[in-house]
Amino acid sequence: MSESISVRVNGKIVSVRAGSTVAVAVLASGATCRVSVTGQHRSPLCGMGTCFECRVAINGEPQRRSCQVLCEANMEIETNG
């Protein structure tokens, strides 16, 4: 077993493999990442930083592309979804 790491997604503790991206933690939590300009729930599409569907707030900083950020212990992740 590889080492795991815990973060919070909308207050809920989620455990992921060390080295996972924040997008993976959000997917694992069951939350969606963002709500679109017409109110649709969205989750990641491209996985490589181009589609911007995976935007969430990380440690209070909004609009971060969660597929480009690695999870760190006790990170606070907030989604709109």
Residue 7 CB, shortest distance to another protein, in Å, is 12
Which of 50, 62, 74, 76 touches another protein (CB under 8 A)?
50
- Interatomic CA distance for residues 49 and 18, integer angstroms: 20
- Asked if residue 19 binds another protein (CB under 8 A), the reply is yes
Q: Is 24 in the site for another protein (CB under 8 A)?
A: yes
Query: Does residue 79 bind another protein (CB under 8 A)?
Result: no
Give the C-alpha distances (Å, rounded to integers) separating 9 from 15, 31, 68, 73.
10, 8, 16, 12
Please state the closest distance from residue 77 (CB atom) to another protein, in A.
Answer: 14
The letter for the amino acid at 15 is S
